[in-house]
Amino acid sequence: MPVKKNQLGKVEKSFLLPLTEIKKIIKNFHGEMEKGLANKKSSLRMIPAYVAKPTGEERGKYIALDLGGTNFRVLELELKGKGRMSPPEEKKFILEKKYTIGEGRDLFDFIAKCVKDFISTRKIAQGEKREIGFTFSFPVKQTGIASGILVNWTKDFSARGVEGRDVIKMLGDALKRSGIGHIKVSALVNDTVGTLVARAYQDSNCDVGLIIGTGTNACYEESITKIKKWQGAKKTGEKMIVNIEWGNFNRLPLNRFDKLLDDNSLNPGRQTLEKMVSGMYLGEIVRLVLRDCGLCGFSIAHSFKSEYISRIEADNSSDLRDVKAFFRGCGLGSLGLDERKMIKTICRLVTLRAARISAAALAAVVTKIDPALSKKHTVAIDGSVYEKHPGFSSHMHQALKEIFKSKVNRLKLVLAKDGSGKGAAIIASLA
Ligand code: BGC
């Protein structure tokens, strides 16, 4: 079907995010952060993480569990002080769908079985203890360093009987059922918090942790006196990390594709920012646009993966021959050069908007900590979209440059690979 050029023009317009819009997002983000911190109704939950930054002098061997993506991981590492740690030894377990969307009890039994399996391979002397940190990458209302209630599942998890319950208690019960009830989990950690803490262990300027992968979220270091809803002691000068749960931010300009995606999602009305930014949804947005423009035959929802966008955008040949090969390989016949160019343009529009929204939200977080950007800040980032999506990180940098001009140099964005696991181990040591 021939593509209507004016149609593409309209689509293009609906994905643009000029600086004026970015500034509005920053302002609204600040408003939602304040409300969340004061326990008022807000799309940002602003969850106190019951932990502050490490000193870098923590030592010892720790185990971390990591749940939140396609695999479940167990790892062990040794903290050596002076910001040094041994490379983690880890084991990955494929997390089958029957666990992520089945009975919650089965999911936790599976996790316990993996922990048992991992521990049996380690040389842990009799009487020797290992603290365990559990990275659980979902919105959890923490009630302590080692307790927290799952508010709601996100991404593609929907295991029954877990929402509204204490996930550490559920894990503890499963460990008992597996015959390893003596193993105690001493810290519950969001992946963003793990990422911040892992980087802060070696870099004291790090005060923001960010994930842009299957899901997206950020955390930052806040003065305890500013966390109005914090019920505990509030010593001036004391700080605590706050899990923003920014994926749920909803004061964003939505176009008709966003609305369609939301209507057909598992969680309509929720995780609005996540649906515009994260790897779980970018492919689906592109698919909806392609379908609207009569450009391709991916008729089943979520059949166009975010990785395809990466492949299409990575093709820099003048005749887009890899794009051609890709569509042919999918059994969709041969597309003309004009069509291939348009497909690439659509992918770029979706990626660019995602990166600019991420930059806007990040700018809001950094200016919440330091409005005039008077000091240096390291932002630790992990996640497949930031790491692997061609152009994503440079689009983000570009947007930050537009926002902060020359002061952008005070921000250092670093890829913090596998921070969530390492961070959970460090937090276990703090607990
Ligand atoms: C979850 C967050 C998590 C993020 C990145 C989101 O869907 O709500 O808790 O940090 O994904 O994994």
Residues 6+ apart with CB under 8 A from 231: none
Q: Does the C-beta of 191 come closer than 6 Å to ligand 1?
A: yes
> Does the annotation count 191 as an active-site position?
yes
Catalytic residue flag (residue 173)? no
pLDDT digits (tens, 9 = 90+) for 201-238: 999 999 999 999 999 999 999 999 999 999 988 888 89
Q: Please give the backbone phi and psi of residue 312, each rounded to the nearest 5 degrees, phi first.
A: -65, -45
Start-to-end CA distance of the chain, whole Å, equals 61
Is residue 420 in contact with ligand 1, taking CB distance under 6 Å?
no
The span from the CA of 415 to the CA of 419, in Å, is: 9
List, in order, residues 6 or more apart from 55 with CB less than 8 Å away.
none
Q: Catalytic: which of 42, 43, 137, 186?
A: 137
Residue 222 Cα to ligand 1 middle (Å): 19
- HSE-CB of 248 using CA atoms within 13 angstroms: 21
CA nearest neighbour of 285 among 310, 312, 256: 256
Please tell me which residue in 66, 109, 191, 262 is annotated as part of the active site. 191
Is 73 labeled as catalytic in the residue annotation?
A: yes
Question: Which pLDDT value is given to residue 5?
Answer: 65
For residues 405 and 399, what is the distance between their CA atoms, to the nearest angstrom? 10
Q: State what percent of residues in the chain have pLDDT above 70.
A: 98
CA–centroid distance, 245 to ligand 1, in Å, is 7
* Torsion angles phi and psi, residue 199, rounded to 5: -75, -40
- 155 CA: nearest ligand 1 atom: 7
- Give residue limits of the domains in the chain: 48-203+419-430
* 372 CA from centroid of ligand 1 (Å): 29
Per-residue pLDDT of the chain (431 residues; tens, 9 = 90+): 455 667 888 999 999 999 999 999 999 999 999 999 999 999 999 999 999 999 999 999 999 999 988 899 999 999 999 999 999 999 999 999 999 999 999 999 999 999 999 998 887 766 677 889 999 999 999 999 999 999 999 999 999 999 999 999 999 999 999 999 888 899 999 999 999 999 999 999 999 999 999 999 999 999 999 999 999 888 888 999 999 999 999 999 999 999 999 999 989 999 999 999 999 999 999 999 999 988 877 989 999 999 999 999 999 999 999 999 998 888 887 889 999 999 999 999 999 999 999 999 999 999 999 999 999 999 999 999 999 999 999 999 999 999 999 999 999 999 999 899 999 999 999 98
CATH class of 48-203+419-430: alpha beta
Per-residue pLDDT at 127:
67
Give residue 14's pLDDT. 96
Return the pLDDT at 334: 81
Best mutation site among 216, 386, 418 for ligand 1 pocket (most ligand atoms within 8 Å of CB)? 216
d(CA 325, CA 347): 17
Can you tell me the distance from the alpha carbon of 43 to that of 250, in angstroms, rounded to the nearest whole number?
Answer: 6
pTM of the model as a whole: 0.96
